[in-house]
Amino acid sequence: MKKFLGALIVSSLAALGAFSTVNKAQAASLTIDPTYTFLRTYADTTYYNNVNTAAGNTKAISLADLGLKGGDFISLNISGVFNTSVWNPGERSDTIGVFSTSDRLLDGSSEKRVVDSLALNNQDASQYGYTQNTWTSRTLFDSTASPGSSFDSDKNAYMCNGATLSDSNRTCGNQTLFDGVFGIFGETTIEIPTTAKFLFLAVNDIFYSDNAGMMLVNIDKTGTVGNQVSAPEPNTVFAVLVTIALALKMKRKQKTAKATVRC
């Protein structure tokens, strides 16, 4: 009987612990360099105060190193701001990301730099899908006939007229994106694609080498597929506690009975 009561108490406590453990643990707190990107960049170089700065390459984040895997649900919480230009300072906090099966990142002249990028599930894609914008930039996105541009047959591209920066390679067009790129808006909860192994993050910009500052992203695990419950129902907690109380009461009665017999 003693062994039975002990086992009952232990199993009840274990059950309560399993239910009450919130399936949430901070995986990482990382910085984002606003001069780094995984998008296409072309002649993205800034010369300012006698210093020449080129756009850098986003470093792939290993999900395994963070204790994460495909199917996990994570929260991406962005904080801080970055300076969008050393010439015309302005603060923004826009951020983008993309999951991938590998850490491969092609050079800045390639359109799909993250060659093994993965699409999000339909729900996340519709909620966090990134909308392309038309820009005037040396980063040479998809060249299109934008207002205030003229076609250069030698370059086979639409060149911007009256560009604020003097550059013969300044084109007009849309950002070159690819399937899977998503926007991060404040705190964003998203499901990691099943086969994902890496995550690329960058600020949302069109010209990176002139940026300044640093941003922070907290990555928290909030759950896994088929395990979204972080706390038990009140009735479940009550039942477990009642079981423990009854077991303890029975144990006390057993001790009292033994003490009576000795007398």
Chain segment 51-97, per-residue pLDDT in tens? 888 889 999 999 999 999 999 999 999 999 998 887 777 788 888 99
pLDDT at 161 exceeding the cut of 60: yes
Residue 146 has a pLDDT of 67
CATH classification at residue 201: 2.60.120
Whether residue 7 is found in the same domain as residue 113: no
Provide the number of structural domains found in the chain.
2
- Is residue 162 very low, low, confident or very high in pLDDT (cuts 50, 70, 90)? low
Whether residue 75 is found in the same domain as residue 7: no
Residue 137 has a pLDDT of 40
Whether residue 219 is found in the same domain as residue 116: yes
Q: At a CB cut-off of 8 Å and minimum separation 6, what does 253 contact?
A: none
Nearest CA to 80 out of 29, 46, 129 is that of 29
Whether residue 220 is found in the same domain as residue 102: yes
Residue 263 has a pLDDT of 46
Residue 254 counted as domain residue:
yes
The range of the structural domain enclosing residue 107 comes to 23-133+175-224
Do 76 and 214 touch, CB atoms closer than 8 A? Answer: no
Whether residue 7 is found in the same domain as residue 100: no
Residue 106 counted as domain residue:
yes
Residue 160 counted as domain residue:
no
Residue 9 counted as domain residue:
yes
Q: At a CB cut-off of 8 Å and minimum separation 6, what does 127 contact?
A: none
pLDDT digit string, tens, across residues 165-198: 445 556 565 556 677 888 887 789 999 999 999 9
pLDDT at 23 exceeding the cut of 80: no
What are the beta bridge partners of residue 240?
none
Residue 42 has a pLDDT of 65
Its pTM stands at 0.67
CA–CA separation, 236 vs 11, rounded Å? 14
CA 45 to each of CA 36, 176, 208: distance values in angstroms, whole numbers, following the listed order: 12, 18, 8
Whether residue 203 is found in the same domain as residue 249: no
CA 175 to each of CA 45, 82, 190, 217: distance values in angstroms, whole numbers, following the listed order: 17, 20, 24, 24
Residue 29 counted as domain residue:
yes
Angle between helices 2-20 and 234-262 (to 10 degrees): 160
Whether residue 220 is found in the same domain as residue 236: no
pLDDT at 6 exceeding the cut of 70: no
Whether residue 237 is found in the same domain as residue 116: no
What percent of the chain is modeled with pLDDT above 70? 58
Q: In a 3-state reduction of DSSP, which class is residue 195?
A: coil
Beta pairing, strands 157-160 & 134-137: unpaired
